[in-house]
Amino acid sequence: MPPDRRPDRQQALRGALASEGLQGLLVTHLPNIRYLTGFSGSAGLLLVWADATILVTDFRYAVQASSEAGAAATVEVDPTNVWERLGRILAGLPRGALGIEAHALTVRDAERVTGVSAHRIVPTLELVERLRVAKSPDEVAAIREAAELAQTALAGVLPGVKAGQTEQEVAAALEGALRRLGSEWHPFPTIVASGPRAALPHARTTRRAIETGDWLLLDFGAQVGGYCADLTRMAVVGARADERQRALYEVVRSAQLRARDHIRAGMTGREADALARDVITGRGLGDAFGHSLGHGLGLEVHEAPRLAPTSEIPLPLHAVVTVEPGIYLPGWGGIRIEDDIYLGPEGPVCLSDGRSELVELT
């Protein structure tokens, strides 16, 4: 049983609030609420004050909220209006500056806060997210487990993929395997893109029938204990790869392996991105790699830090990031290889299987 890290997380947040001159923070971003309390429901308001942590939710979560939060928060259930309940709670607290999550709160809900509170409302940016960047050993273990589950699901589905099947049929088989193996849900819509559609970095899975010799790009993930894995694998369907497919695949594979092996905590997001980008650019394909190298991974599939040409922020120790270079050639197809990497004190650790060899489904 891993240690309960919620008290330490809340105390670290209170330290951040004090440094910002805030009396408290209203947390509305659901992954942040889960990180601080364990509550995994879809509706909740969390008030973190100097000497209190109060979770406000509705009737649907009366039992779940108390069970999941336990001693980490006082649970208040309001069957009619959680905002009015929040107002009554705030009325009993000393006046001061109340932070809100400006990056997550809608304008309408921000108006609700000002409508029920006499406190001075102060917009904040990603106070909890900054704490979430460095992962504890149990968080890393959950991401590793999610990656292993995703890999097992793919291993069961990929050998059965044949020309003539549709992208949606392959996605359905993969998503079904993920759920049967224990994935809580899909961290993002599964991408299955074939042939020229593999040139769409965030393709929408369609009814297109896979043809012999097509590229098949599969971008998918699993979720365990709230934590996400994010993987991309490639295959050629029904035939051996042709010379061009093989050559371009090797470019992406070389770039991915270089970044995967040499990324380190402390280098900037730009420096990490350059590990792969320099390889692809050196082969004259820089314009075909239009997205960043990767992103943070945790309770959300996209979170800090960023591995991008524009990021001068150092990568934190104990972060988990994706490494996913790609090249995309409209009308021909695209290639992306993605693994999940833990930035440990001894260097990078691949939490996924790192299987980057070209797969040919003949």
pTM over 0.85: yes
Does the pLDDT value for residue 99 go beyond 90? Answer: yes
- pLDDT band, very low/low/confident/very high, at 247 (cuts 50, 70, 90): very high
The whole-chain average pLDDT of the chain stands at: 97
Give the model confidence (pLDDT) of 105-157 as tens digits: 999 999 999 999 999 999 999 999 999 999 999 999 999 999 999 999 999 99
- pLDDT band, very low/low/confident/very high, at 2 (cuts 50, 70, 90): confident
Q: What is the pLDDT of residue 180?
A: 98
Does the pLDDT value for residue 101 go beyond 90? Answer: yes
Please say whether the structural domain 137-361 has been given the CATH code 1.10.3720.10: no
The ranges of the chain annotated as CATH 3.90.230.10 are 137-361
**What is the phi/psi pair of residue 286, to 5°?**
-55, -40
Pairing mode, if any, of strands 227-237 and 359-361? parallel
Fold (topology level) of 6-132: Creatine Amidinohydrolase; Chain A, domain 1 (3.40.350)
CB 26 within 8 A of CB 100: yes
The ranges of the chain annotated as CATH 3.40.350.10 are 6-132
Q: What is the pLDDT of residue 1?
A: 79
Percentage with pLDDT > 70 across the chain: 100
Give the model confidence (pLDDT) of 9-45 as tens digits: 999 999 999 999 999 999 999 999 999 999 999 999 9
Q: What is the pLDDT of residue 291?
A: 98
